Every structure is written in structure tokens, then in C-alpha cells.
């Protein structure tokens, strides 16, 4: 009986460890809020055992100074071995991340259905 309880506990633990954390950001990300966004994202890293999924559906613009939030997050994620996915980034946001070379360190995905 004890082995069965341990096996069930191991399965539950594996499921918890496999879960990802999704953070949905809203509004422009610029110098005025980059520090708060960086704090939110890096704090999210501390509470996940799986991938960090950043949903940018509602982010219309990412300034060059706003990209600092992602640099800090990626640095922390790489240190802890947590993969980071950026979801639904519009072309301007992708270009801002690309200009810093961050696209090599991120996975991009898009939930928009194909026409």
C-alpha cells in the first residue's frame, strides 16, 4: 500500500512540476513601467517549475527601453533553466525583441487561427 501512495504522490508532483506559468501583460511597455514588468516576470519565475509563458496579446507597443524587462527575465530564466515562450506578439513587439537579439533566447508562438 505504501508503494502505491508514493507512486501517486510522484505522479502528482510530476504534474505540478510540469505546469507552466502564464503571465498576460496589457498596455504599452516602456521606460515608465519596464521595472514593474521586469519585477512581475522575474517574480513569476520564482513560482514556476515549468516554462514561463508571456502572453503579449494586449501589448500594442514595446519601446526599446521597455525591452529591458525581457532582458532581466531571460537572464534569470536561463540561470534557473526555465524556458520562456512569448505568445501572440505583434510585429512591432517582435521587431523590438529581435533588435536586441532576444529572439534567439525565446520561443515565439501565436494563438491566432490560420485563415
> Residue 104's domain is classified under what CATH number?
3.30.750.24
- pTM value is 0.78
**How high does pLDDT run on average in the chain?**
81
DSSP per-residue codes, the chain: -HHHHHHHHHHHHHHHHH--EEEEEES-B-TTTHHHHHHHHHHHHHT-SS-EEEEEEE---B-TGGGHHHHHHHHHHHHHT--EEEES--HHHHHHHHHTTGGGT-EEE--PPP-
pLDDT at 17 over 70: no
Residue 5 forms part of a structural domain: no
Residue 9 forms part of a structural domain: no
Q: What is the pLDDT of residues 44-84, one digit of tens each?
A: 888 777 888 899 999 999 999 999 999 989 999 999 899 99
Domain of 38 in residue numbering reads as 20-109
Amino acid at each position: 500500500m505504501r508503494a502505491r501512495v508514493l507512486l501517486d504522490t510522484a505522479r502528482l508532483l510530476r504534474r505540478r512540476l510540469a505546469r507552466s506559468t502564464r503571465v498576460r501583460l496589457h498596455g504599452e511597455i516602456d521606460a515608465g513601467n519596464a521595472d514593474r514588468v521586469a519585477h512581475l516576470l522575474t517574480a513569476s519565475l520564482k513560482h514556476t517549475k515549468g516554462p514561463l509563458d508571456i502572453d503579449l496579446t494586449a501589448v500594442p507597443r514595446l519601446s526599446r527601453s521597455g525591452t529591458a524587462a525581457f532582458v532581466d527575465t531571460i537572464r534569470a530564466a536561463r540561470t534557473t533553466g526555465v524556458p520562456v515562450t512569448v505568445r501572440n506578439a505583434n510585429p512591432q513587439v517582435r521587431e523590438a525583441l529581435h533588435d536586441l537579439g532576444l529572439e534567439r533566447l525565446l520561443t515565439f508562438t501565436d494563438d491566432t487561427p490560420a485563415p
